Amino acid sequence: MSETAPEIRKGLVGVYADESTVSKVMPETNSLTYRGYAVQDLCEEASFDEVAYLLWNGELPNAKELAAFQAEEKANRALSPALLRVLHDFPKDAHPMDAIRTAVSFLGMEDPETADISDAAQRRKAMRIFAKAPTAVAAAFRLSKGMEPIAPDASLSYSENFFHVVFGKVPAKEVIKAFDVSMILYAEHTFNASTFTARTVTSTMADIHGAITAGIAALKGPLHGGANEAVMHMLKEIPSPEVAEAWLRQRFDHKALVMGFGHRVYKSGDSRVPTMKKYAEVMAEVVGDKRWMNTSAELARVMLAEKNIHPNLDFPAGPAYYLMGFDIPLFTPIFVCSRIVGWSAHVLEQMADNRLIRPLSFYTGLEQRPVPPMGAR
Ligand code: COA
């Protein structure tokens, strides 16, 4: 007996799964707002920690609220000796995304409030994960290179401290600003795959460490966050801007994906690209190396002319991070540190008005049949 197939939206394309007040993507105008503020305005007027406060609380902080938020973040940056020991024992060739995923999961085991899923406790835990993630990303990375971790420095801002724990020094303020902008742009983007994963985990009433660990697992894939690393590998494969077009045409011949292009929601341009491109160009100026931006411009020109496909945020973010001096395997973990903010905002929102997320599948397998005895198989 065959049933009539229901409409299946593969990849949940075009499906509204819930309401949300955290952010809004408007593909018709290539724009994105966080709690009603245009993301490009936040990049020019606010710091990453102010944006984190905004996403978690719905409003930008005043000076007193910001000072309290920053003080709490700074006070929570250190890792426990137990976690540092575990990080020492990670395989040296482990991908930094696997390291941060495991570190966040470990934080859940040692957090005194893991089992408390009240709104107040979830907020305190979100802050602890937010503050400790850069320390863990940097420590795992340094250990994989045979270097000792660097202790966080509470006299530094979030973004300054990020460079401090990775490199042991703080770069020029233009570099800090470009990094801070990238963190604002990566912080939140409605119901993307990792955020929806975090909300699905939360909908079972599991804890926030579990939701964020699952979010990191989803972000690692090259169709999602992993694309910023893939972009840089691609740029390094192209010997010069002059041969970028020929390189791309070979890709077209093989029907291969071009990383850093295309988006499920934006079809005529990603709202975040112009701002990130501007700061990637600042980085090219600061470093005095325009090669990557010139190759990027060539790729973007040909992709648009030939395929009508625009770049996404990962396209300018990849070379920007490279010019900041980060090793390529750190790019997606940096994205993690930023998106922890968005995931947490969605965990809080999901928990505040929860219903278990449980869709249906339309069965297309074999008809029901008897189990044959062993001798008849
Ligand atoms: N390179 C080459 N072709 C691409 C492409 C890319 N980056 N992105 C989309 N296309 C093509 C598809 O192959 C498809 O062609 P077809 O109609 O001939 O089959 C067409 O454009 C429509 O794309 P579709 O697969 O419907 O898009 P999607 O919404 O399912 O996928 C992405 C969106 C992001 C997964 C996809 O664009 C992609 O894989 N991009 C590269 C990875 C990336 O940069 N990810 C970061 C996202 S922020």
Tell me the pLDDT band of 2, cut-offs 50, 70 and 90: low
Q: What is the pLDDT of residues 332-341, one digit of tens each?
A: 999 999 999 9
pLDDT at 159 (0 to 100): 98
For atom 13 of ligand 1, the residue with the nearest CA is: 257
Ligand 1 atom, smallest distance to 251 CA: 2
User: Residues 308-328: what's their mean pLDDT?
Assistant: 97
User: Residues 298-313: what's their mean pLDDT?
Assistant: 96
Are 162 and 266 members of one domain?
no
Q: Rounded CA gap, 140 and 100, in Å?
A: 8
DSSP 368: P
For atom 45 of ligand 1, the residue with the nearest CA is: 223
For atom 8 of ligand 1, the residue with the nearest CA is: 262
Task: Judge if the beta carbon of residue 261 lies within 6 A of ligand 1.
Answer: yes
Tell me the pLDDT band of 305, cut-offs 50, 70 and 90: very high
Q: Rounded CA gap, 174 and 359, in Å?
A: 47
Read off φ and ψ for residue 163, nearest 5 degrees: -65, -40
Q: Please name the residue that has the structure tokens 């988006």.
A: 263
User: Residues 127-141: what's their mean pLDDT?
Assistant: 98
Residue 1 has pLDDT above 60, yes or no: no
Ligand 1 atom, smallest distance to 231 CA: 44
CA angle 201, 205, 207 (to 5 degrees): 75
Residue 266 has pLDDT above 90, yes or no: no
User: Residues 81-97: what's their mean pLDDT?
Assistant: 95
pLDDT at 247 (0 to 100): 95
pTM, entire model: 0.95
Q: What is the pLDDT of residues 202-212, one digit of tens each?
A: 999 999 999 99
Are 102 and 244 members of one domain?
no
Are 214 and 239 members of one domain?
no
Ligand 1: distance of its center to the CA of 262 in Å? 5
Ligand 1: distance of its center to the CA of 223 in Å? 9
- 263, 270, 310, 346: the catalytic one is 263
Q: How many CB atoms lie within 10 A of CB 3?
A: 8
Ligand 1: distance of its center to the CA of 77 in Å? 38
Q: For the chain, where are the E strands, in sequence order?
A: 23-26, 31-34, 37-38
- Estimate to the nearest angstrom the gap between the alpha carbon of 35 and the chain centroid: 19
Residue 80 has pLDDT above 80, yes or no: yes
- Mean of the per-residue pLDDT values for the chain? 96
Is 224 a catalytic site residue?
yes
Tell me the pLDDT band of 223, cut-offs 50, 70 and 90: confident
- Residue 253 is part of which domain span? 227-323
Q: How many CB atoms lie within 10 A of CB 33?
A: 18
Report if residue 90 sits inside a domain. Answer: yes
Task: Judge if the beta carbon of residue 256 lies within 6 A of ligand 1.
Answer: no
Ligand 1: distance of its center to the CA of 269 in Å? 13
- Would you say 52 and 187 are in contact if contact means Cβ atoms under 8 Å apart? yes
Secondary structure of residue 127 in the 3-state scheme: helix
Ligand 1: distance of its center to the CA of 371 in Å? 43
Q: Rounded CA gap, 51 and 47, in Å?
A: 6
Q: What is the pLDDT of residues 21-38, one digit of tens each?
A: 999 999 888 899 999 999
CATH code of the domain in which 296 resides: 1.10.230.10
Task: Judge if the beta carbon of residue 216 lies within 6 A of ligand 1.
Answer: no
- Would you say 204 and 197 are in contact if contact means Cβ atoms under 8 Å apart? no
Ligand 1 atom, smallest distance to 270 CA: 48
- Would you say 17 and 357 are in contact if contact means Cβ atoms under 8 Å apart? yes
Q: Please name the residue that has the structure tokens 């966040």.
A: 104
Is 49 a catalytic site residue?
no
Task: Judge if the beta carbon of residue 260 lies within 6 A of ligand 1.
Answer: yes
Long-range interactions of 355-360: CB distance < 8 A, separation 24+:
355/203, 356/203, 356/204, 357/17, 357/199, 357/200, 357/203, 360/6
CATH code of the domain in which 208 resides: 1.10.580.10
Residue from 9, 190, 231, 257 whose mutation best tests the ligand 1 pocket (most atoms within 8 A of CB): 257
Three-state DSSP string of 290-319:
CHHHHHHHHHHHHHHHHHCCCECCHHHHHH
Residue from 10, 263, 268 whose mutation best tests the ligand 1 pocket (most atoms within 8 A of CB): 263
Are 319 and 347 members of one domain?
no
Q: Rounded CA gap, 172 and 190, in Å?
A: 33
Number of domains in the chain: 2
In sign, the C-alpha dihedral spanning 105, 106, 109, 114 is negative
Report if residue 339 sits inside a domain. Answer: yes
* The two three-digit tokens of residue 111, written as one number: 């957090």
Report if residue 86 sits inside a domain. Answer: yes
Are 104 and 164 members of one domain?
yes
Ligand 1 atom, smallest distance to 225 CA: 46
Report if residue 359 sits inside a domain. Answer: no
Are 43 and 142 members of one domain?
yes
